[in-house]
Structure 1
Amino acid sequence: MTKVNLITGFLGSGKTTTLRHLLAHKPADEKWAVLVNEFGEIGIDGALLADSGAVLKEIPGGCMCCVNGLPMQVGLNMLLKQAKPDRLLIEPTGLGHPKQILDMLGAAVYQPWLTLHASLTLLDPRQLRDERVVQNENFRDQLAAADIIVANKQDRQEPADRDLLQHWQAANLKGRRLVEAEFGKIDPALLDEPRLNQRVLPDAAEHHAHSHPPSALSALRLDNNTRWRRALNQGQGYYACGWVFDADTVFDTIGLLEWARLAPVSRVKGVMRIPEGLISINRQGADLQIETRQSTPPDSRIELIDEQAAEWNTLQSALLKLRLENKA
């Protein structure tokens, strides 16, 4: 029997960082798996979690929360039957609605295979002062579906953010648990809390669009001698553009960071090769975080998300000029 947790949270709330923390504290005698989905087609989280020691399955942009749920069912079935993990952590896109996933996990067909434990939703309390986020139905329903709310990024908050969180907690939690965290560092024991929240959620508005039919159960990959590719996606009032580059492409460090910092979009996330090795980039609004590592990734990939379609061709031209060698 596989223990399953749904870990949700809006864009930039810190889901992937939290997953990495939890996986780093996995019991040595247990086998864990992660089913991950992102809004875009590129698949950044898979690269960030690749060295976590867990079995990883990626689902293409937006498909996990779609009403038909077919890619989600296929990915879930493969993990349960082939990997047979002791625990499965499911990370939907930050723009995803949890209803279809929770309904599927609670279906009778899965009862012999899995036990649904507490659903965790990551919240950056600063999002509570962004009216566009607060009015987003997926943001509201992710929080409504959670057994445990993780008020993340405590190190980034102002006193006004804490006051707003307290007001929101008093009006919305109604007996559910709220824990505070920095950098996603939560107690792994939270995963063993029971699934108690039986609130009935409304059906999500189905307005996700794909740049191409979702025929593969993995993030965008390069084939043949292709040096790089671009993928577009849109839905839920957001637009995404991402690029993947081969392993021989190396980027200028300072130029890349400036490109990510100044890109006129609300969200930037990537794992890129630079002369020093590997750098992960995570930007939400003006909040830019970078982390360097020594491991060598199989490729480089970066994605931009915004509430409106940006000048993708202009951003692409600037990014391509930052390649240091083997330009193609």
Structure 2
Amino acid sequence: MKDVYLFSGFLGSGKTSLLTDVIRQFKELGMKPAVIMNELGKLPFDSQAVDGDVPLREMLEGCICCSGAEKTEAQIQTLLMESEFDVLLIETTGAAHPVEALDAVYSPLFADQLNIKGIVTVADSHLWLNRHTLTPQVRVLFMEQIRHAHLLLANKMDLLSESEQAQVVYELQGFNNSAFILQTTNGKVPLKLLQHMEATARIAKEDIEEARIGKQLQLSSRIVTFDEAVTQEAFEDWVRALPDTVYRMKGYVPVAGVKNPMLFQYAYGMVQWMPEFLNMPPKLVLIGENIGAIDVLGVK
């Protein structure tokens, strides 16, 4: 199973500096990282910072999430089939919402091959203090990236006074009390801190493992494997009973009377079923907050 780290953060926060330093640390341990970089434009400027011996896939024009999720899945699938690597590092665009980025990464086709270690958000500490200057829409995105972090890097601390540094840490702790907060300069973080992360709570039939870093993590994912077919009506009844903290579900659900498992997608209350002409693995991925507390046995 490959460990996966998702690097999030607003434009100019220092994600690429974090990425290049983490690559260096993994290589010094004799491990081979692979990289997926997401950029808003059509030219891969940031990817020039990645060494040529590192397997690299580029997602241009901000397509790692939302409508480009299928492209992201294809890139990961290609990496898994064609490249030898030990760990996957994904740098999202500064305009990506963490839930959407995680959704794009977590395909039921290869979810059991990946271990999502967590979302590392690089927060520009100076921008945090001046977040009131951002437009309302941009400010919401900036704060959502911070709210969903499992590990939060309060970056650019060298630009602040001691009192400002203390204010940033105090406010970030109050805003996301489940994340470990590290004060950083140039996005440098000890590799051991990353390796100790564990964001994914998984289900294997009836066994539940809850993963923690400090406190139980909020944003996490789970895999449900179906042992038998379900009726579409009973399954949708279960979906309607889910709490609002389930943001995304996608996968292949075996429906009674239907030859192949059907493609099922759910996003913020909206449900979509599509016929599948191949016999896909009957697995469903759930993404949301405090997913470990949800009873999934009702879908069996």
What TM-score results when the alignment is normalised by the length of structure 2?
Answer: 0.62
1:249 corresponds in structure 2 to none
Residue equivalent to 1:35: 36
String of CA shifts for 1:93-142, please: whole Å, max 9, x gaps: 01111212212434433232111102100011111113244842321221
Alpha-carbon distance change, 87 to 94 in structure 1, aligned in 2, over 3 angstroms: same
Aligned to 1:113: 113
Following TM superposition, by how much is the alpha carbon of 1:180 offset from its aligned partner in structure 2, in angstroms?
Answer: 0.9
Report the count of equivalent residues.
204
Give the partner amino acid of 1:38.
E
Amino acid at match of 1:19: L
Cα distance in 2 for partners of 1:75, 1:174 equals: 34
CA contact (8 A) 2:70 2:104 kept: no
Equivalent residue, structure 1, for 2:179: 176
Q: Counterpart of 1:273?
A: none
1:262-283 Cα offsets, whole Å, 9 max, x none, are xxxxxxxxxxxxxxxxxxxxxx
Q: SS at 1:117's partner residue?
A: strand
Conserved 8 A contact 1:127-1:134? no
Structure 1 residues 56 and 133, CA, compared in 2 at 3 Å: closer, same or farther?
farther
Equivalents in 1 of 2:164, 2:193: separation in Å?
24
5+ long unaligned stretches in structure 1? 206-328
> How many angstroms does 1:173 deviate by?
2.1
Matches within 5 A, 1:294-313: none
Q: Which amino acid is the alignment partner of residue 155 of structure 1?
A: D
The structure whose RCO (Cα within 8 Å, separation 6+) is larger is: 1
The answer for the alignment partner of 1:185 in structure 2 is 188
Aligned equivalents of 2:30, 2:164: Cα separation in 1: 40
In the alignment, is the contact (CA less than 8 A) between 1:50 and 1:56 conserved in 2?
no
1:3 maps to 3
The question of 1:154 aligning with 2:174 is answered no
Cα distance in 2 between the residues matched to 1:7 and 1:33: 13
Cα distance in structure 2, aligned partners of 1:6 and 1:44 = 19
Q: Distance in 1 between matches of 2:154 and 2:63?
A: 27
Paired residue secondary structure (2:118): coil
Structure 2: distance between partners of 1:201 and 1:133:
29
Between the aligned residues of both structures, percent identity stands at 26
**Unaligned regions of 5+ residues in structure 2, if any?**
200-211, 220-244, 249-266, 269-300
Instruction: For 2:218 and 2:144, locate their aligned partners in 1 and report how far apart those are by CA, in whole Å.
Output: 13
Q: Which residue of 1 aligns with 2:25?
A: 25
C-alpha separation between the residues in 2 aligned to 1:159 and 1:77? Answer: 46
**2:65·2:104 contact (CA, 8 Å) conserved in 1?**
no
More helix by share: 2
What's the CA shift for 1:163? Answer: 4.2
Q: TM-score, normalised by structure 1?
A: 0.57
Letter in 2 for 1:153: K
Shift in alpha-carbon separation, 1:132–1:71, aligned structure 2, 3 A: farther
**Conservation of the 8 A alpha-carbon contact between 2:35 and 2:56:** yes
**In 1, Cα distance between equivalents of 2:170 and 2:247:** 24
